[in-house]
Amino acid sequence: MPRHKLLLASPVQPIGGCSPNVYGWDKRPAHVRIAMSFLSHPGLAFLGANLPCDVLEYPDACAFAESLRDPPEVLGISFYINETSIALRMMDDARRAGVKEVWAGNYGAYTPEVAARFDRTFTGWGERQLASAIGAELPVSGLVHPEMYGAIGTNVFPRMMLSGLLFTSRGCPWTCSFCQTPQFYGKPQEISLEAIDRVLWTYKSRGVRGINILDENFGTFRGHADEVVDLLHRYRFRWIALTRVDTLLKSFDRWASKGLFGAHLGVESLNQSSLSGAGKRIQQNDSVKLLHSMSRHHMFVQAFYILGFEQDTTSSIRADVDMLATLDVDLVQVQVLTPYPQTRERETIARQFGIHDQELTHYNSRHLVWNHPNISLTEMRELQRYANTKLASSRRALRTLAKFAVFGGQPQVSTRGLSLVAATVGGKASALHRRYSASLASARSWSRVGWYSYEEGASAASAAEFALRPQ
Q: Which does 41 bind (CB under 5 to 8 A by kind): ligand B12, ligand SF4, none?
A: ligand B12
Q: Which stretch binds ligand B12 (CB under 6 A): 100-108, 281-289, 315-323, 368-376?
A: 100-108
Euclidean distance between CA atoms 104 and 114, whole angstroms: 9
Q: How far apart are CA 401 and CA 70, in angstroms?
A: 46
Query: How buried is 238 (Cβ within 10 angstroms: 0-12 exposed, 13-18 middle, 19+ buried)?
Result: buried
User: d(Cα 253, Cα 251) in Å, to the nearest integer?
Assistant: 6
Q: At what angle do helices 245-256 and 284-296 cross, to 10 degrees?
A: 20
Q: Does 372 bind ligand SF4 (CB under 6 A)?
A: no
* The entry of ligand SF4, ligand B12, none that residue 214 binds, CB within 5 to 8 Å by partner kind: ligand B12
Residue 242 binds ligand B12, judged by CB under 6 A: yes
Q: Which residues pair with 55 in a beta bridge?
A: 8
Binders of ligand B12 among residues 284 to 343 (CB under 6 A) are 333, 335, 340
For residues 118 and 77, what is the distance between their CA atoms, to the nearest angstrom? 10
Residue 251 interacting entry, from ligand SF4, ligand B12, none, C-beta within 5 to 8 Å by type: none
Strands 189-190 and 260-268: what pairing?
unpaired
Stretch that binds ligand B12, among 78-86, 246-254, 288-296, 430-438 (CB under 6 A): 78-86
Spacing of C-alpha 177 from chain mean position: 19
Give the footprint of ligand B12 on residues 101-160 (CB under 6 A).
Answer: 103, 105-107, 122, 125-127, 130
CB of 412 to ligand B12, least distance (A): 31
Q: What is the smallest separation between the CB atom of 51 and ligand B12, expressed in angstroms?
A: 9
Out of 145, 244, 362, 367, name the contact with ligand SF4 by CB under 6 A. Answer: 244
From the list 19, 85, 217, 442, which residue makes contact with ligand SF4 (rule: CB under 6 A)? 217
C-alpha dist (Å) from residue 455 to 24, 79, 80, 250:
16, 15, 14, 41
Q: CA 44, CA 250: separation in Å to the nearest integer? A: 33
244 binds, among ligand SF4, ligand B12, none (CB under 5 to 8 A by kind): ligand SF4
Work out which of 172, 199, 245, 360 binds ligand SF4, going by CB under 6 A: 172
**Residue 200 CB neighbours (<10 A):** 23
Q: What share of the chain is helix, strand, coil (3-state, %, to 5)?
A: 45, 15, 40
| Minimum CB distance to ligand B12 smaller for 121 or for 410 | 121
Interface with ligand SF4 by CB under 6 A: which residues?
172, 174-176, 179, 181-182, 216-217, 244, 266
Q: Give the residues lining the site for ligand B12 (CB under 6 A).
A: 8, 19, 22, 38, 41-43, 46-47, 76, 78, 80-83, 103, 105-107, 122, 125-127, 130, 167, 179-181, 214-216, 242, 333, 335, 340, 364-366
